Structure 1
């Protein structure tokens, strides 16, 4: 048996899934892995393209009929939210062009919730790696960034207009639900998959150096210290188990989005990960 897995090439995903991808998890099947940005996996999952897949929590309302949310392996946390960057530091986005990394990303959903009472901006979906250079060059008035951009945006001469994670935490008291791990219903046993991923996480923490070459090979020319900070920020207790706060954060995000008419309504049972 071989399962198909899609994750991003970001250090947190390669760190977490190193053992599973490399056949180091006892009892787990062989893995055929695809590396793609989350905007790509969000769309591919709608076609049922992968058995286990990393997607944005914001995309769950379109996916949970075919996939089950797993309680581990994803990205939630505190102090790790998306940033809205500008070149000029102006807070007025009336008529501005804002580059976003995907129209079903959690970053964009948080932006839409935050900006609900503000004048509308023009939105352009842009590959993540092009956002900061594009804002710096004046092609976009602002850009919504995630992941390691938290550490590198000053290099581009940019200013953080708002930390949407900080806004979310202050407003809800909950962590930020960024990336989810889903298992395809009727194809992958969610109980077994949860065990495989938790063991992969355990091995990653037990020997962080074991995945070093693998992480850096996919880190898109990222400096080692930035990769280390990326992992430290996004791989945390929620990676091993969503727990009560993690589930509450997911529920709050999807409920607010549906109430605002930004996403379809889903049942609470569909949004609850399998737990043991």
Structure 2
């Protein structure tokens, strides 16, 4: 009898703890999700895949919670996902000694990067994007697991770079990190871009007589899985025509779709033609 009482009490405690953790998670609430614990993992079920992706895109805020709670991994399932799920691992918090700055939005590193971008400083833009430690970029991310891709993105963030993930099929923006400074994005920050069809930014490539930067990118990155220091023009949200320089990587599967990963320096851009 005492064993049953203890078991019931533990279930009640787990239920309260699960509700408390869910209340701390972004996007979800009691109307669209359920959460429970499985050993050292947390299982989150949400109503739609769109909601699952939204939770996944908030990994920057979720990883510290997992560390605080002593949770190894949060597994995000959605209605109809079967055995498929999006994982967020607390192990990502130890991928770099500098990752702690990522969780402190007032850290000197973040302020330094935003300041550089705000004045569009060119003092270090002549230096190559540092991808040391990720040799053979044409194959490193080719068949990488979700965890490997996330590790790469987090490390690039720690080195001070903007990282963007875009669906290769629909051109939908899947993720932009927090180093997308307002001046570079015409007042838009990282999360403002998620869900946007990026093809609209490439529209000048399709005008008669213009060089098709978009098609060149798609052809090369699909063939070689990597293109370094890609020089291209985009039409910014305010109407300016701007030049950007980025590394692009192709991955076979990111959030269940083939995607291109873009790594850029926050201040490495220039206005070619001002709309105003």
- Could you tell me the TM-score, scaled by structure 2's length? 0.24
Q: Whose relative contact order is higher, 1 or 2, with alpha carbons under 8 Å and at least 6 apart?
A: 1
Query: Going by fraction, where is helix more abundant, 1 or 2?
Result: 1
Query: Going by fraction, where is strand more abundant, 1 or 2?
Result: 2
Whichever of the two has the greater Rg, that structure is 2
- Could you tell me the TM-score, scaled by structure 1's length? 0.24
